[in-house]
Amino acid sequence: MKLTRLDKLRLRLEAQNACLGWAFEEIAGKPGLVFELGLGHGRTYDHLRTHLPERDIYVFDREIDCYEDCTPPRDRMLLGNIDETLQAAAERFPKAAALVHSDMGSYTEAHNSAMSALLSRALPAVLAPGAIVVSDLPLAMTGATALPLPTGAQEGRYFLYRAGV
């Protein structure tokens, strides 16, 4: 039977949750910032701040449209188009992110392929050596290696990368 949209959403959320849980353990004890690309309603930001209470988390989006109790502190929100805010972050925090969670996809293929290309180009400048990138879109970042997904995540539903050292 073909997968319904509900099936695909469930697989995506299971993979997102499993990959983030894996990444939290992977960066434990390693210094570095956490970047959340795509505040959206704030669901994964809430997950990050809950599981990584000691980390400095910077959140990127072009708007603030989240649950009120998931609004990031103003000085941790980089508001604007992601190509500009990532470039500003690369100047302010060069090679400083230990973990990037990127949740920038939408329902349109044109948006997703353009976003994949933009992120693949821009992210390496902010990644610390060995940083982990957890992404809803496939990326092709210079110097980074694609990783297999952890138990509980079906391949192709989310994407994991490790930056070169």
Ligand X SMILES: C[S@@+](CC[C@H](N)C(=O)[O-])C[C@H]1O[C@@H](n2cnc3c(N)ncnc32)[C@H](O)[C@@H]1O
By CB under 6 A, name the binding residues for ligand X: 38-44, 61-63, 81-82, 103-105
Nearest distance, CB of residue 96 and ligand X, angstroms: 20
Nearest distance, CB of residue 43 and ligand X, angstroms: 3
Nearest distance, CB of residue 151 and ligand X, angstroms: 22
The residue (of 27 and 104) whose beta carbon lies closer to ligand X is 104
Cα–Cα distances (Å) from 37 to 1, 5, 6, 34, 154, in that order, read 34, 24, 24, 10, 22
What is the arrangement of strands in the sheet containing 77-79, beginning at the earlier edge strand? 77-79, 57-61, 33-37, 97-102, 127-135, 159-162, 145-147
The residue (of 41 and 145) whose beta carbon lies closer to ligand X is 41
Nearest distance, CB of residue 154 and ligand X, angstroms: 19
Distance CA 60, CA 2 (A): 35
Distance CA 58, CA 150 (A): 25
The residue (of 121 and 130) whose beta carbon lies closer to ligand X is 121
The residue (of 108 and 154) whose beta carbon lies closer to ligand X is 108
Tokens for 65, please give them: 């449209």
